[in-house]
Amino acid sequence: MSNTLLDCVRRFADANADAFGVARTPIPGLFAMRATAPSELQYAISKPLVALVLQGAKRVTMGSETFDFGAGESLLIAADVPNVSQITRATAGEPFYSLVLDIDPLVTQSLVMEIGVAQTGTGAPIRIDPTEAEVADAALRLMRLLDRPASIPVLQDQLIREMHYWLLTGRHGAGIRNLGFADSHANRIARAVAVIRAEYAKTLPVERLAVVAGMSPSSFHQHFRAVTSLSPLQFQKQLRLIEARRMMISEGAAISNAAYAVGYESIPQFTREYGRLFGTTPARDIRESSGKAQVAA
């Protein structure tokens, strides 16, 4: 992969990264990541995306599977799945850099109809492959638009579409092509996931989610677990806990306020389930995160 893409991402990320190492571009769904040291474990339920690693290395775990990848490789997340990630190689002299693009289902659907690829069974939601030259070249031209802001509204859509095309027709194609079929199991489950994401603090009957997905409750349970690796209730619970952790650590919310805000009615239950997911209590997690932030400062 050309170092020119690394240079573009480095320049933009160094100038624009926030306290979490995220540098959002003016192009919707495109952002750069930067880190100058190995990170703590990061818990998330990621939306479909592709991440091109340009320098350093990262590890992502989903369930019992762990993926290690580094410069010249790309991570594809093809469904809304819970995962734990960690930047494993980064220094002040040689930071970690990656470029991330959200996968747009509408663009994917348009391309699938145009090029006529076949629908396949549910594939692995996370995979690692070498970054193909065509993908890197489209990414480089996207990044170059940032130096000429007037060009962004004119050219961004066609370059994002081109990058999706190369992803769809290349090594990552099998992982994302089902996103191109509006009635695929992956897209039906994605509709239900969107409801859970929007209303995670509410009680959500599985029957309602099944209707959104256009499935019977039993079929919905089966396909939801196949796509996300969790049951709908487990998915909602993890989403609640991850959001509560963000509120406490990033916003300084009190434990009880965060717990109630995400839908818990019992603080002891919140504390128990928090410990099962994160391996520590909320109070200890806050103290340790605060201490690490003070050291870093």
Condensed to tens digits (0 to 9), the pLDDT of residues 125-143 reads: 788 999 999 999 999 999 9
Average pLDDT, the chain: 89
CA–CA distance from 122 to each of 43, 119, 233 (Å)?
Answer: 24, 9, 21
DSSP code at position 44: E
pLDDT, tens digit, 9 for 90 and up, residues 79-110 = 888 889 999 999 999 999 999 999 998 898 88
- Confidence band, pLDDT 50/70/90 cuts, at residue 181: low
CA distance 60 to 40: 12
Q: Token pair of 274, please?
A: 């928090």
Least Cα distance to 297 among 7, 19, 58, 15 occurs for: 19
Q: What is the pLDDT of residues 189-225, one digit of tens each?
A: 888 999 999 999 999 999 999 999 999 999 999 999 8
Residue 64 to residues 57, 61, 83, 229, Cα–Cα distance (Å) = 20, 7, 10, 11
Sheet of 57-62, strand order = 42-46, 81-89, 57-62, 65-70
pTM comes to: 0.82
- pLDDT of 166 reads 94
SS3 292: helix
Residue 165 burial by Cβ neighbours in a 10 Å radius (0-12, 13-18, 19+) = buried
